[in-house]
Amino acid sequence: MTTIEKIKRQIAENPIILYMKGSPLFPQCGFSARAVKMIMDCKEPFAHVDILQNPDIRAELPTFANWPTFPQLWVEGELIGGCDILNDMNKKGELQPLLKETAEKYRSQEAKISQ
């Protein structure tokens, strides 16, 4: 399986997925820490991929997504954006409803990551 196929599968199998540096419990950069806090504050399950542990994904995802930086939040197969966009959405009250609505659609499935 190519790296792009792996990324496509991860995004398809996880309705809410965050590509980040580190993990939700141990983020490895300030932007990832802020993004994961905003997402965790919404209290909905999400998958994550530590790009530091997956250098192939770290190298390929920016080109695939046409988005050069991390973190990257994907919801239902669509790139939402990085930390600044999440912050704007959070301030406008848009992030929590988006994640809640998405999680409710997929409530019967557990977020999982296929690597």
Radius of gyration of the chain (CA): 13
Q: Is 83 annotated as a binding residue?
A: yes
Q: Is 34 annotated as a binding residue?
A: no
Q: Is 31 annotated as a binding residue?
A: no
Q: Is 42 annotated as a binding residue?
A: no
Q: Is 29 annotated as a binding residue?
A: yes
Q: Is 70 annotated as a binding residue?
A: yes
Alpha helices per DSSP H over the chain: 3-13, 30-41, 55-65, 83-91, 95-105
CA-closest candidate to residue 96, choices 47, 40, 12: 40
What residues are designated binding site for [2Fe-2S] cluster? 29
Q: Which residues does the annotation place in the binding site?
A: 21, 29, 58, 70, 83-84
Residues that constitute the known binding site for glutathione: 21, 58, 70, 83-84
